């Protein structure tokens, strides 16, 4: 087990860890000494990243996880405890972004899928991963919300509602679990250069124009990088944030300012 780093000796479970922000978070925590459970529905990419981390001399395993499945959560947490003996850090990052549906014509199946992954998945993570952290004597949970929890997006009803739900669920968990030694905080990214955002942009009739509009919404003048979100998560996961719970950290290039 690594003994040097800002989360050295800790065990972290990261959902959505096979790509994008989740992968960057898993790598960053690993770089700083954590043993990492990479949980994702994408087995091929998840196994590849776990192998990469192990090849660098780090401790990492992949677990297949559908965050909407309580049975999956129970198995993954059980396996993590079996391999590493405890759990100190949980990062609920898995999510889906679906847009393009005006509320008057919003498809209910799309609504339910978005809420199931983005909000139910975080609830199940708190319920089962959080319980393991409590049993281990305390630790840190970071939930990935979105700037869309603060700034409404046209044709984004399901996504905005789900991410606002994550923000408030974070605060409830923080309040209830503070006496148990568990800190629970949320990070709210703006548009970040990930496969998820790229897929959304590519769905537009004019992808180049859509990208330009997305960039224009960020006063800092560009989209974010996964590593920049990972650095924010690392802070909350580390003992440096020992007095922070129920906090919301916007890492959005100024998107929410106007």
Report, as residue numbers or ranges, the catalytic residues: 159
Burial profile 118-149: b = 16 or more Cβ within 10 angstroms, e = fewer: bbbbbbbbbebbbebbeebeebbbbbbbbbbb
**Residue 186, strand partner residues:** 143, 248
Which among 199, 118, 104 is positioned nearest to 154, based on CA atoms?
104
CA distance 75 to 128: 10
Residue whose entry in the numeric block shows the structure tokens 């009803």: 157
CA distance 55 to 129: 27
Q: Would you say 196 and 93 are in contact if contact means Cβ atoms under 8 Å apart? A: no
Q: Is 48 exposed, middle or buried (0-12, 13-18, 19+ CB in 10 A)?
A: middle
Number of H helices, E strands in the chain: 10, 7
H-only helix segments in the chain? 20-31, 43-55, 70-84, 108-115, 121-124, 131-135, 157-177, 195-202, 207-216, 226-237
Token output for 97: 């972004």
């Amino acid at each position: 087990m690594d003994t040097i780093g800002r989360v050295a000796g800790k065990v972290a479970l990261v959902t959505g860890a096979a790509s994008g922000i989740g992968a960057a978070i898993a790598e960053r925590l690993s770089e700083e000494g954590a043993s990492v459970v990479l949980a994702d529905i994408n087995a091929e990419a998840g196994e590849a990243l776990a192998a990469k981390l192990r090849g660098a001399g780090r401790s990492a395993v992949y677990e297949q996880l559908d965050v909407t499945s309580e049975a999956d959560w129970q198995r993954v947490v059980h396996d993590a405890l079996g391999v590493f003996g405890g759990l100190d850090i949980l990062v609920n990052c898995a999510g889906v972004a679906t847009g393009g549906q005006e509320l008057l014509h919003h498809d209910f199946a799309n609504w339910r899928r978005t809420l199931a992954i983005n909000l139910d998945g975080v609830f199940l993570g708190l319920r089962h991963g959080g319980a393991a952290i409590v049993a281990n004597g305390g630790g840190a949970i970071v939930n990935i919300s979105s700037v869309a929890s603060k700034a409404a997006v046209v044709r984004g009803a399901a996504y905005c509602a789900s991410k606002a739900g994550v923000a408030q669920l974070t605060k409830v968990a923080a309040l209830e679990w503070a006496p148990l030694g568990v800190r629970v905080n949320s990070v709210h990214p703006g548009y970040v250069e990930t496969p998820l955002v790229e897929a959304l942009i590519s769905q537009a009739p004019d992808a180049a124009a859509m990208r330009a509009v997305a960039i224009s919404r960020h006063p800092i003048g560009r989209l974010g990088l996964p590593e920049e979100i990972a650095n924010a998560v690392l802070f909350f996961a580390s003992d440096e944030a020992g007095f922070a719970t129920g906090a919301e950290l916007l890492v959005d290039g100024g998107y929410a300012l106007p």
